[in-house]
Amino acid sequence: MSGGRERDAGSGVSRRGFITSMGAGAVGAAALGARPAEATPATAVGAGETVPLALRVNGVERRVAVEPRTTLLEVLRGPLGLAGAKPACERGECGACTVLVGGETRYACMMLALEAEGAEVTTVEGLLDGETLGPVQQAFVEKDGFQCGFCTSGQVMAVEGLLRKRQDPTPDEIREGLSGNLCRCGAYAHIFEAARRAGELKRGGGR
């Protein structure tokens, strides 16, 4: 021993140095072992790349190219030019973007466009007969079911979806059917009346 240091015979390396170097090596190995593996892409489509999409919207076949992450709302308002569904909260809380997909009410902002492939998509524009309002749209006009109008297309589509399932809904069923659609102007009483009137118009021979 010399100066309190232990050395391996003939190696010239102190035991403390050996242990220290081994400890550092172990830490390094652990750090390398904890390093995550290279991420494997979940899809073969890279960022910014598009895939073909065929949609049937308001009875018409439409073909577009979209990024897989594109929402149905973005496709409707963008390449398809259907601005009836409104972007408002864009988090599935207000219902301004409500459309029908396969006859079911859906928030277009919360649905990927690719999910709608093969299903019939109906927007508020699809309720028109040429320039003539559909029964639900007409009922909203008759009963003054809107103020600023921003939520109106979503409200109309929610009522349309409800009436396709319940031809003569009760007041409670109307409130439940519209519970996912917010009106910031507070025109709910008129909206509920419009829903009731739309049911009458449809039962009277309207679409």
43: alpha, beta or left? (left if phi > 0; alpha if psi -120 to 50): beta
- What's at 77, amino acid-wise? R
Phi, psi at 206, each rounded to 5°? -75, 175
Cα(185)–Cα(178) distance, integer angstroms: 15
pLDDT digits (tens, 9 = 90+) for 191-201: 999 999 999 99
Cα angle, residue 173 at apex, residues 169 and 177 outer, rounded to 5°:
110
Give the residue from 134, 113, 115 showing the smallest Cα distance to 125: 134
The residue written with tokens 């809107």 in the block is: 146
CA dist list (Å): 177 to 129, 136, 191:
24, 14, 12
50-126 has which CATH code? 3.10.20.30
Please tell me the class of the 128-207 domain: mainly alpha
pLDDT digits (tens, 9 = 90+) for 102-143: 999 999 999 999 999 999 999 999 999 999 999 999 999 999
Return the domain boundaries, the chain.
Answer: 50-126, 128-207
Residues 138/201, Cβ–Cβ less than 8 Å: yes
**Tens of pLDDT along the chain (207 residues)?**
444 444 444 444 444 443 444 444 443 433 334 344 444 444 455 667 999 999 999 999 999 999 999 999 999 999 999 999 999 999 999 999 999 999 999 999 999 999 999 999 999 999 999 999 999 999 999 999 999 999 999 999 999 999 999 999 999 999 999 999 999 999 999 999 999 999 999 998 766
